[in-house]
Structure 1
Amino acid sequence: MSLSSRSAVAIHALTMLARWERSLTSAEIAESLASNPVLVRRILGSLRDAGLVLSSEGRGGGWSLARGPREITLHDAHIAVEAEQVLARHPHPPNSECEVGRHIQAILEVEFQAAEQAMRERLGRTTIDDLVSQVLIAERSLPSRR
């Protein structure tokens, strides 16, 4: 089982928009992601619905940040595109005749809630502006390309 990559795509797109400080098309963002513009548009649509990006049509149109990059956290991006809990629960009730089955859901619920809270707190401390800074530092550390 793998987790959704929607959050990573959303954060990538937001970081690009913040880095270049101009409207970008879904094709430009998709190129950076090595992905399909249709997928990118779906993610950007969810970000727009959450009030994180704006879109404009026509020549010179595209996508831009709706708020400053210091005001958008990774948690904001995550909740904009992820509909479900990160850690999946039992798809159906376990066997109540089993000693483990009787108790495991309640036990796991406590553990999963604590883990998800820790993730929310961590993602809430990092902004898109922080990521842009990290990208710029990483880029400066690369050998010059001539």
Structure 2
Amino acid sequence: MKKNSQLSDVLHVLLHMAQAEGPATSELLAAAMQTNPVVLRRLMAGLRDKGFVRSSKGHGGGWVLSCALEAVTLRSVYEALGEPSLVSLGFRENHPQCLVAQAVNEALGVAVQDAERLLLERLGEVTLADLASDFRRRLKAHRHAPHRLVEHVHEG
């Protein structure tokens, strides 16, 4: 089953935007996500509607953050994306007649609900400012580490 990476992709893009000195084009941000600019613009629409980003057209235009990093939680970004599925466990049958399948579905359903509740709670505790701070810490460590030991870093 293919994993949904929208939240991770958009967070990656938002951190690139936070490091940028000016607007970033859809083409540039799409390249960071390794996707098509149309896909990027579709994902960014929900963030624009929530007031997290804004865009301008024309020469010198592009996407910019329009709020403080401290004001945006990972949960709020997830919600702006339309709340894609967090846990991808499925059921063999959605409305089984079999009593064994009913017991399995009930147990899995409760576990998935609990996992999603905990995950949403944690996503609500982490802000874009937290991610930006962690990135800066990692970048500083990367710049001071012996290069033979350091793996690829995407500085922005």
- So what's the TM-score if we normalise by structure 2? 0.79
In 1, the alpha carbon distance for the partners of 2:124 and 2:22 equals: 25
Partner AA of 1:27 in structure 2:
E
Aligned partner of 2:70 in structure 1 is 70
Confirm whether residue 40 of structure 1 aligns to residue 40 of structure 2.
yes
Partner AA of 1:108 in structure 2:
L
Say which SS state the counterpart of residue 64 (structure 2) adopts.
strand
Aligned partner of 1:93 in structure 2 is 94
The two structures, once aligned, show a CA RMSD in angstroms of: 2.2
State how many pairs are aligned.
144
Aligned partner of 1:127 in structure 2 is 127
In 2, the alpha carbon distance for the partners of 1:143 and 1:48 equals: 34
Residue identity (%): 31
In 2, the alpha carbon distance for the partners of 1:38 and 1:111 equals: 36
Once the two structures are superposed, residues 93-144 of structure 1 have per-residue CA deviations (whole angstroms, 9 ceiling, x without a partner) of 3432x33212222222211111001111111111111111111111111146
CA 92–84 in structure 1, closer or farther in 2 if over 3 Å, else same: farther
Higher mean C-alpha deviation, range 84-93 or range 23-32: 84-93
Aligned partner of 1:12 in structure 2 is 12
In 1, the alpha carbon distance for the partners of 2:50 and 2:92 equals: 29
Say which SS state the counterpart of residue 142 (structure 1) adopts.
helix
- So what's the TM-score if we normalise by structure 1? 0.84
- 8 Å CA contact 1:9–1:40 kept in 2: the answer is no
In 2, the alpha carbon distance for the partners of 1:91 and 1:82 equals: 26
In 2, the alpha carbon distance for the partners of 1:103 and 1:44 equals: 41
